[in-house]
Amino acid sequence: DQQVKQNSPSLSVQEGRISILNCDYTNSMFDYFLWYKKYPAEGPTFLISISSIKDKNEDGRFTVFLNKSAKHLSLHIVPSQPGDSAVYFCAASKPGTASKLTFGTGTRLQVTL
């Protein structure tokens, strides 16, 4: 039962354009969402997060949008850079569960020149 889904396994974007990565979840108990970036054979690196009480959080080139009614969140990267090429995971957490994260399946972003 995949409670956090990233339906696009891959995405290719031209340098300088906007990258939009999507994530859907099924469990309405999730109240905190995070995005991680991962390179092969390395651990994930935290990018940005958002609490369910907000609908937008911005940090530099990264913005996360949350639509609770649709159980959908998205990560916008603008402008995209070649160094952004990696696999991006969204993750979700429920209250009172020792902060366990449930990860999505990941989207591989390729930023081309």
Chain positions contacting another protein, by CB under 8 A: 2, 4, 9, 32, 34, 36, 41-46, 49, 89, 93, 98-106
What whole-number distance in Å separates Cα of residue 20 and Cα of residue 111?
12
* Smaller CB separation from another protein, 9 or 16: 9
**Min CB(44)–another protein separation in Å:** 5
**Min CB(112)–another protein separation in Å:** 21
Closest CA to 104 of 39, 33, 41: 33
Count other Cβ atoms within 10 Å, centred on residue 11. Answer: 17
**Min CB(85)–another protein separation in Å:** 16
Asked whether the beta carbons of 96 and 32 are under 8 A apart, the reply is no
